[in-house]
Amino acid sequence: MISEKLKKRIRIIKNFPKKGILFQDITSITDDKKLFIEVINEIVKYAKKNKITKIAGIEARGFIFGSAAAVQLKIPFIPIRKKNKLPGRVFSQKYKLEYGYDEIQVHQGSVLKKDKILIVDDLIATGGTAIASAKLIKKLKPLNISFFFIINLQNLNGLNKLKKDYGVQTLLNTNG
């Protein structure tokens, strides 16, 4: 089962980036060719089942998994980026962090009303960035939004916040 493979393979780095954090290092997935392919195949399977028309990836680790799945599905990839990283006309969404505020952006016109969007990221913690991403994509008025995370840090409760309004899939539930 993929969750067991992930549990064995993901490197945990204690007290990074600050004391008390158990950092889940996803490069231990991308370093393992077979496991990386398995993870991408799981995203692809979920996307096919839900008739996803475009994949959006949250900067930066969502780009790794989301773009690989989009290529395999032969569908467009939409980058959700930090403020001032995209050229041209964008929609923006501010959100609160434990230490202040941040802002993400997406290109205007990247989503159509008929689109079913899958937002991909490596993990969900408190849910702040994921919720902001959903609000951002909603501004483009897609038909549907769902999420795929490799890791759910269940002790931080972000997944439960999303489940109320969106379809959500994860591969590994752990604490962080």
Angle (CA) 125 16 2, round 5°? 50
- Catalytic residue (one of 38, 59, 61, 103): 61
**What pLDDT score was predicted for residue 17?**
86
Q: Which of 11, 38, 89, 98 is catalytic?
A: 98
Tokens of 46: 């979920």
Q: Please name which of 161, 116, 160 lies closest in space to residue 137, comparing C-alpha atoms.
A: 116
Which domains does the chain carry? 2-174 (3.40.50.2020)
**The overall pTM is greater than 0.85:** yes
- Ordered mean pLDDT values, 10 residues apiece, the chain (176 residues): 95 89 92 97 98 97 98 98 96 87 96 97 95 97 98 94 96 91
Active-site residue, 61 included: yes
Q: Is 11 noted as a catalytic residue in this protein?
A: no
* pLDDT for position 170: 98
